[in-house]
Amino acid sequence: MQHTLELKILDPRFGGQWPLPEYATAASAGLDLRAALDEPLTLLPGDAALVASGLAIHIGDPSLCAVILPRSGLGHKHGIVLGNGTGLIDADYQGPLMISVWHRGKEPFTMQPGDRIAQLVLLPVVRAQLQVVDAFETSARGAGGFGHTGVR
C-alpha cells in the first residue's frame, strides 16, 4: 500500500549533505531517520537523549499512524534502542519528529551528525468505538493469560 506523506525539511542539510529518507530496497518497510546533530554525541551506558530528526511529517489520515523503531543492527550490536520503547506518531502531529535514543549497551557509543539511528514505519490504525457491556460472550481463552497455555 502506498500513501503520500507530507514532509517538512527542518534541517537544511537534508537534500544537500544528507539525502531525504528513502526505502533501502523495493520492499523495505522502514525509512531510516538520521540524527540531525551539530556535533558528535557520545552516550554512556544508560544514557538517553532526545535527538532531532531534522524533519516533520503530517500524516493527516486518522486511519494511519507512524512508529519509530530501533534499527536492528544498532539495537542488537551496540545497545542503541529507544527511550520510549516505540515512538508513536499521531496522524495530527505536525511538530518536529524527535527520536528518543537510549543506550542500553555496555560501552560508550558515539553518534555522528547524519547517522541513521532509527526507522519510521507507516501503519494502519483501527480506532475503537467503545461499547460498555456487563459480560463478554464466552471465548475459548476466557480470562486465561500470562503463560496460561504453557510453554510446549
Binding residues for substrate: 71-73, 84, 88-90
CB of 122 closer than 8 Å to CB of 59:
yes
Q: State the residue number with the nearest CB to ligand DUT.
A: 87
For 111, other C-beta atoms within 10 Å of its C-beta total 22
The reply on whether position 87 binds ligand DUT by CB under 6 A is: yes
Cell 506518531: give the residue.
89
Question: Which residue in 84, 113, 121, 125 binds ligand DUT (CB under 6 A)?
Answer: 84
The reply on whether position 5 binds ligand DUT by CB under 6 A is: no
DSSP 47-81: -EEEEEEEEEEE---TTEEEEEEE-HHIIIII-EE
CB of 18 closer than 8 Å to CB of 115:
no
Question: Which residue in 41, 55, 97, 111 binds ligand DUT (CB under 6 A)?
Answer: 97
The reply on whether position 89 binds ligand DUT by CB under 6 A is: yes
The reply on whether position 18 binds ligand DUT by CB under 6 A is: no
Site residues (vs ligand DUT, CB under 6 A): 68, 84, 87-90, 93, 97-98, 100
